[in-house]
Amino acid sequence: MTREPNFDELVGAETSDAERERLRRAHELLLQVGPPPELTPQLRKAPGFGVTHLPRRRVVKRRALLLLAATLSVAAVFAAGYTVANQRGGSTSSTLPRLLALKGTAAAPHARATLEVWRSRSGNLPMTLSVVGLPKLPAHTYYEVYLIRNGRPWGACGTFRVAGGAHAVTLTLNAPYSLRKGDSWVVTRPGAGGVEPGKTVLRPVTA
Amino acid sequence: MRKNRDDMELALDVPQPRLRAVPSEAAPLPLDASDAELLARVGERDRAAFEMLHGRYVRPVFSLALRRLGDRGHAEDAVQEAFAAIWRSASTYRPERGAAGGWLYTVARNAIVDRLRRNGPAADAELPELASAEPGPAQHAEESYTAWRVHRALEELQPREREVIELAYWSGMSQSEAAEYLGLPLGTVKTRTRSGLARLATVLEGELL
């Protein structure tokens, strides 16, 4: 399980009892709520309001007409596809991995990890990643866990850092996505120039 | 107002933002301006105040949206809509009726619920063979508000405090490992952690503590 921070280690013995209790409550709240989500570059920037738009009603109307036309044209195809998907077991939840073993790539040959997928909670899918053998990264750079869909990085699930290859790290992550059959995960390190996703350092062990 | 390509793309995703931001001629905003002061300025179409408010609340709003919608794409859209709603209705905020944080929570939650009604929740990828531990609606709401307040309070920390708090709580590092990672003396990490916790406690005092 996740290594829970030790309150006594964090606060030390130099604080008064009253202050200690105040800090303990803040400590418990941090444990209770978990980390805030990572923001995409788009979300980090406040939305712009400097553009005059078409009235929304007209936009919605135009979109509705387009949607209606598209719906009519593909209805038959959709019905057929839906039937086929059901016959092939299109539902994914029963096929989700519950424990995924990951091994280091050439970029981190000594790395090993397990990823445990838990039951969905509040729209997020909690996961526990236990990893050892990853080298320490330069300051302000992070390893990133990526959801892999159709063989390609599809969505970021969280970042973490390690103190060095000898240090085992266990942490909780969230995948705020709807999972599908065949989804998997990898761990990457930053690419040149901070390009994400970077180079894969851990990938699933295949049978 | 400067209009670059990114501005255009972002703005087009936001519903009915037909009012133009106008450069504020008011006094410059202090960094420690209260949320209520920022809202008042946003109500006067002060773009700088809006950006400051966005910086303080985008993470709590996103967190709330993820909890309710369960889908990152929908949540990102809901964040944009929530801030569009804040921009539109900031002038209706009345400080005598309650704290700005509570007002912002309500506006954001309503925007998220609107999105939920339009799109429906994302398909849940739960593992059916495990027993459900899902909270009920009341507990869910309380947890959401607690997370909102705590994530908002984290934005009040100095970056160096926040860094050690994040390492301690969510990266699985011990204090010694964090000190080694940051290249700082252990005592400095402990001091920053303690001061960060104390600041959090102060910010949250009276509401959650």
* Predicted confidence (pLDDT) per residue in A63-94, tens digit: 556 555 554 544 443 333 333 333 433 333 43
* Predicted confidence (pLDDT) per residue in B19-76, tens digit: 444 444 566 778 889 999 999 999 988 889 999 999 999 999 999 998 888 888 888 8
Q: B7-13: which pairs have CB atoms within 8 A and are 24 or more residues apart?
A: B7/A48, B7/A50, B7/A51, B8/A48, B8/A51, B10/A42, B10/A45, B10/A47, B10/A48, B10/B80, B11/A47, B11/A48, B11/A49, B11/A50, B11/A51, B11/A53, B12/A51, B12/A53, B13/A47, B13/B77, B13/B80
Q: Where are the domains of chain A?
A: 57-90, 93-204
* ipTM at complex level: 0.72
Of B126, B134, B168, which has the smallest distance from its Cβ to A10's Cβ?
B168
* R_g over Cα of chain B: 19
Please determine, for residue B113, whether its predicted confidence score (pLDDT) is greater than 70: yes
pLDDT, chain A, mean: 73
A169–B173 C-beta distance less than 8 A: yes
* Predicted confidence (pLDDT) per residue in B131-185, tens digit: 445 556 667 677 888 999 999 999 989 999 999 998 899 887 888 888 988 889 9
For residue A156, the chain B residue with the least C-alpha distance is: B72
pTM, two decimals, is 0.53
Interface of B with A in 117-146 (CB under 8 A): 121-130, 132-135, 140, 143-144, 146
Q: Sort out which chain B residues have CB atoms less than 8 A from A36's CB and list them.
A: 59-60, 62-63, 151, 154
- Chain B contact for A15, CB < 8 A? yes
Of A94, A161, A179, which has the smallest distance from its Cβ to B128's Cβ?
A94
Domains of chain B and CATH, by start: 30-121+141-155 (1.10.1740.10), 157-209 (1.10.10.10)
Of B1, B128, B200, which has the smallest distance from its Cβ to A50's Cβ?
B1
A92–B125 C-beta distance less than 8 A: yes
* Predicted confidence (pLDDT) per residue in A48-66, tens digit: 654 333 344 444 555 556 5
* Predicted confidence (pLDDT) per residue in A149-186, tens digit: 888 888 888 778 887 777 777 777 777 677 777 888 89
Architecture of domain A93-204: Sandwich (2.60)
